[in-house]
Amino acid sequence: MKSFLVLVIGFLICGAVSAQNHPDWVKSAVFYQIYPSSFQDSNGDGIGDLKGIMSRLDYIQSIGINTIWLNPVFKSAFKDGGYDVIDFYQVDQRFGTNTELIQLAEEVHKRGMHIVLDLVAGHSSNESPWFKQSMLADKNLQYSDYYIWAPNKPNDLSEQEASRWVEANAPRAKYFIKNFYDIQPALNYGYANPNPNHPWEQSVDAPGPRAVRRELQNIITFWLEKGIDGFRVDLAASLVKNDPDKKATIALWKELNGWFDQKFPQGVLIAEWFNPKQSIEAGFDIDFLRPGKLTSAYERGKKTDAKVYFTKAGEGDIVDWKQYFTDQYSNTINKGYLSLPTGNHDSPRIASEGREDAAQLKVLLTFLLTQPGVPFIYYGDEIGMKYIQNSPDVEGSKNRSGTRTPMQWDGSENAGFSTAQKANLYIPLDPDANRPNVAKQESDPNSQLNYVRNLLKLRSTTEALGNDGDWTFLSDEKQAYPMVYMRQKGNGKYVIAINPTDKAVEAKIKTLQANHVNNIYGTSKNGTYKIGKELDTIKLPAVSAVIFKVE
């Protein structure tokens, strides 16, 4: 116990000086998330690859993007879409080679952009040589304690804990602990509160967990020294077991982030933690927020009875959102960055829940891309790609495959994604003959793509609307529509008003005592702002979003 306390104190001291050290370039970063298998196929095998991504860099940059995040590209068994890694030091051959990944990074840097990879820190594939060695009877090999092995399954486990035990009948022991699928054995970062009756529960400072942390550092070092700019860490909050308040996990990451900040001061680490108050305390640069019932009635993949805010019905509310966002924002301001992404590879696209026309999507994108923190755009959301219901389960994707369909570049049979036969595509395309595509929207000045480009250009040239601009909620939370908030920095002040409903709406807010307020951008020129002595009045037409400049 004493050694654990010393370790935690050391973490805290190390983390205290590192938590606010962020690379300069993150202040203006705009990310584009790419699911590599679905983005661009360069060799006709029906699966996207690194050369394909390289061929589309100019397009990505043209959107207003300056940073790319790739979902896992490491050697994998692909029983969970690449999140079951066999070798963290080798690019999977389906995507290309290590050399091609470094060439991609070089091409990214030539354009003044950055690139980050996905790091699955909590588990590996059961086909990893680490795991195979750990199965052996000799418990004193290099990887013996990289995983958690137990001779028997105790009777005092909770239902959730019991579900993580996998029977292997290996020479080492009968059971191992998994993270998710049975083919994903959990890496051993130790237990926050080891049970003395469970000898397999090692402390976080035991030799095995320490070795795993060193391996994590080695992986990070290997790729950053070759030109990669950082990592998004998959489920970063899940490393230490039996850690309900996450204190031990926070301490672990404080140590790692302290080391990272010193060794790679211009590198970025992004947490998939979904609790920035904790992850930024742990020293991460960026963490994600969950939009919740603002955009979806689904919670952890299951449909709920929640009334979604961003629909034409106008039945949502903003009470929970205001409290949630205000809490996270106020506890992380000037410490790290929040991100409210347009979507990701695990959740239905924003073009779902009845939001499938460009007008509705422009309103939602105006909201998402005028928030403080770092924007993340999921590939295809800029053109309104749809979530495709009932897509086949591919490589463990289950119902997530509908958000991983191939990028739609043009009007050809395979939408410009691949020259392969239709039946050989990684996941079937959106079957709609009128599906959106880049080529069609490039030439339309009123397209969703060009709307996003102009919105990101405004953001990049307007300090108040940027990543570090202040945020103030102006709406009366009892009146859900429109949602009104302010972004401010220095002398710049902007009010954003959002109305996803199919009815015209009006809001009265405490006067900002402005001289002039102008509608400078948005989906409608008919949105108005009237200055009053005590109350200012904002009027918006149906399905609209407006950015007002206050002077």
Q: Residue 296: pLDDT above 60?
A: yes
Mind listing the pLDDT tens digit for each residue in 27-49?
Answer: 999 999 999 999 999 999 999 99
Cα 234 from Cα 238, distance rounded (Å): 9
Task: List Cβ neighbours of 445 (8 Å cut-off, separation of 6 or more).
Answer: none
pLDDT at 11 over 80: no
Q: Tell me the pairing of strands 230-233 and 114-119.
A: parallel
With cut-offs at 50, 70 and 90, classify the pLDDT of residue 187.
very high
What domains are there in the chain, each with its CATH number?
2-125+209-459 (3.20.20.80), 126-186 (3.90.400), 471-550 (2.60.40.1180)
Q: Strands, DSSP E only, in 71-194?
A: 74-76, 85-91, 114-119, 149-150, 165-167, 175-177
List residues bridging with 549 in a β-sheet.
Answer: 494, 518
Per-residue model confidence as pLDDT tens digits over 515-527? 999 999 999 999 9
Tell me what pLDDT residue 300 has: 62
* 210-258 confidence digits (pLDDT tens): 999 999 999 999 999 999 999 999 999 999 999 999 999 999 999 999 9
Whether residue 199 contacts residue 166, with contact meaning beta carbons closer than 8 Å, is answered with no
CA separation (Å) from 24 to 59, 74, 416, 534?
A: 24, 28, 36, 41
The pLDDT score that the predictor gives to residue 8 is: 40
First to last CA, the chain: 60
E runs forming strands in 401-504: 470-473, 483-489, 492-499
Q: Give me the pLDDT at residue 21, please.
A: 81
Distant-in-sequence, close-in-space partners of 141: CB < 8 Å, separation ≥ 6: 133, 134
Please give the residue that has the higher pLDDT: either 298 or 170.
170
E runs forming strands in 1-144: 31-34, 67-70, 74-76, 85-91, 114-119
User: Strand locations in 8-50, DSSP E?
Assistant: 31-34
Instruction: List, for residues 354-380, the tens digit of each pLDDT value.
Output: 998 999 999 999 999 999 999 999 999
- Helices and strands in the chain: count of H runs, count of E runs: 13, 23
**pLDDT for 4:** 39
* pLDDT for the residue numbered 303: 77
Q: Give the pLDDT band of residue 12 (cuts 50, 70, 90).
A: very low
- Confidence tier at 18 by pLDDT (50, 70, 90): very low
Reported as a single tens digit per residue, the pLDDT across 280-289 is 999 999 999 9
Q: How far, CA to CA in Å, does 235 sit from each of 34, 271, 273, 373? A: 18, 7, 6, 20
pLDDT at 20: 59
Q: What is the pLDDT of residue 106?
A: 98
Rounded percentage of the chain residues whose pLDDT exceeds 70: 96
The predicted pLDDT at position 305 comes to 82
**pLDDT, average across residues 431-451:** 97
Retrieve residue 538's tokens.
């904002």
Does the global pTM surpass 0.85? Answer: yes
Q: Which stretches of 330-468 are assigned E, i.e. beta strand?
A: 337-339, 376-378
**Whether the Cβ atoms of residue 499 and residue 363 lie closer than 8 Å to each other:** yes
Which of 218, 282, 289 is CA-nearest to residue 255? 282
